[in-house]
Structure 1
């Protein structure tokens, strides 16, 4: 248990000594280009399309934002270090600090928003550091709806199927991942029975790196990403977390710093997994995988991202285009995740797209950007 606790802390912080050095050496916000290059992307027939572009916003803080929720082209929420939560309603021109009172010692790693006024945020950590907060008034006030009292639990990510039903996941307790459930929009939570959860592998845990280690699509399907064990896995439930199946993923694991860090599903069958090794001095040669059968099987990307990636999102109104982000850049796929190309070198931890349009990315040193 002591070794697992160390693994949890390492994964959840997402940083080791080498990675810290890399972060400190990374360009400042001012030094990083404010948009993806406007290079032209052509298909085999020579037809051309403009690539997407990131427009950096001034958030007025140096907090690291791993939690991100895109509401629309104009509205988004971010949540991060030092208990910081920000919200914009004008496309990122202005950001309002709506951090919960007394949360300065907490680390927010995930936030899910239903609209500009309603959101649920997850703080991560061992024991009582793992908490859930909910707001119904745009962050003017927050209610702490869950505080973990089990010292063995460490919550990493949360997801919602709709405005009422949602789940949060913890690293293994008693040999199985623990699932927390709500049926009233995050106001109340209960731990689900673990009889339908496959046993965790030695050293296995989740990564609280981008809020994407637990994702859902539709009304009942949810996927959970793992790393740290000999093989990375994605677990799938088709009944809102009561029973689960497991599948190995081609992204290398076998170390507490390696595995699947983020998932994105455009429907209940087509998904992308990204990850690798988050240490800056380690290569991530197979950092992406794809599935076309709901996660029952995964195949490696034939041309993967060039480095570790922590988050991914399907572009709105597209059945084949998606982006993946990480500390060293953004990659774009036009063929459903089979091949990727780097289109930006700015540092981001998470990316999210609203269903009706509007994509956002967030990361270190207060970096938040909107796709142009």
Structure 2
């Protein structure tokens, strides 16, 4: 579901301008927060930290960025199709190998892969269904990955690969949950699909049911759980983050109110893979939440959330939140003790615990 708001590559190096954020160090356990200048101005919608130094980001206008020095410099990786695609998701294994997913109806939904750091890209999937719209992807290993799209023709659209994306297969209806009417996910942050470990993978669905799909066999077969979070015609889950296979945070939103959403049941915690839930506090500013990421090396209770009303961190498993910025943010990712947030006007924030 949309949220509004191979060729040789030219490389542009963007210098970083760091800005200290006032919240840094104001409370015990609070991170050091640095705002970075990416060198681009379109909305950055997704980010994936392959390590504490290698990070990829993607967004509107065909934008894909990469840093290999922890954000000191960002390289623009010019992608196929120029600026005509919106890359709503990116998943990287390191400095060389990454996948990007463009979202949109029909042929606008595509998956590309690079194995040379974004110098060249191979088209791996071109959506043949004009009624389908792909939202997110995730890899549990170098070979096995999953991509999810909005339901079409009465079927759930889940793609799976076991060869690094060379072949993407649409799973048979008998192996996936039957869709609710007009069920899909929100292509908000690239976090509607996520792995808890190499074999355990989840899908956070949006409208109308706010359901959680779960696979224990790397995406071959699936079950479904209900959640107590907000749901409706344009409301549901928007992003998830799972560690240890079963312990997860999910966020939800009413996307008809991107900057004004005040729905209460928008943050949920599960410790058993989605069977039971504890609804936690929503962040302090209005706005639709888009994504969330645990920062497990900073402590089991530390996470960061991004949304159209701002970005926030928690030190107590989402019982309370501290504001990072009130700017529009969408993507969030973490590795080690470092988290990354991206958003409107090419902005990037780095948080270090």
Superposed pair shares fold, TM > 0.5? yes
Distance 2:325 2:82 in 1: 33
Distance 1:340 1:351 in 2: 15
Distance 1:208 1:179 in 2: 14
1:29 is matched with: none
Pick from 272, 294, 312: which aligns with 2:292?
312
In structure 1, stretches of 5+ residues that fail to align are 1-7, 21-31, 42-48
Check if 1:224 corresponds to 2:198.
no
1:45 is matched with: none
Distance 1:286 1:159, change over 3 A: same
2:15 is matched with: none
Pick from 225, 232, 252: which aligns with 1:254?
232
1:103 match: secondary structure: coil
1:77 is matched with: 56
Q: Is the 8 A contact 1:221 1:268 kept in 2?
A: yes
Distance 2:21 2:321 in 1: 18
Distance 1:36 1:274 in 2: 26
1:90 is matched with: 69
Distance 1:140 1:276, change over 3 A: same
* TM-score, length of structure 1 as denominator length: 0.85
Shift in Å at residue 34 of structure 1?
Answer: 4.9
Pick from 66, 75, 83: which aligns with 2:45?
66
User: What pairs up with 1:355-366 in 2 under 5 angstroms?
Assistant: 356-366=336-346
Distance 1:351 1:38 in 2: 18
Q: Is the 8 A contact 2:227 2:274 kept in 1?
A: no
When structure 1 is superposed on structure 2, of 79-88 and 177-186 the one drifting more is 177-186
1:365 match: secondary structure: helix
* TM-score, length of structure 2 as denominator length: 0.89
Q: Is the 8 A contact 1:193 1:242 kept in 2?
A: no
Render the CA deviation track for 1:32-87: whole Å, top value 9, x for unaligned: 9753602543xxxxxxx231133121111111111211122222111111111111
2:104 match: secondary structure: strand
2:329 is matched with: 348
Render the CA deviation track for 1:286-342: whole Å, top value 9, x for unaligned: 2201101111222211x2223431111111312221111112222222232344343
Check if 1:371 corresponds to 2:351.
yes
Distance 2:248 2:189 in 1: 16
Distance 1:296 1:176 in 2: 24
2:283 match: secondary structure: coil
User: What pairs up with 1:147-296 in 2 under 5 angstroms?
Assistant: 147-229=126-208, 231-256=209-234, 258-278=235-255, 279=257, 280-296=259-275
Shift in Å at residue 343 of structure 1?
Answer: 4.2
Distance 1:56 1:177 in 2: 39
1:86 match: secondary structure: strand
Q: Is the 8 A contact 1:316 1:358 kept in 2?
A: no
1:310 match: secondary structure: strand
Q: Is the 8 A contact 1:248 1:298 kept in 2?
A: no
Shift in Å at residue 192 of structure 1?
Answer: 1.7
Q: RMSD of aligned C-alpha atoms?
A: 1.9
Shift in Å at residue 277 of structure 1?
Answer: 1.8
In structure 2, stretches of 5+ residues that fail to align are 6-17
4+ residue runs over 4 A deviation: none
Distance 1:311 1:295 in 2: 17
When structure 1 is superposed on structure 2, of 108-117 and 317-326 the one drifting more is 317-326
2:318 is matched with: 337
Distance 1:348 1:275 in 2: 15
Distance 1:39 1:277, change over 3 A: farther
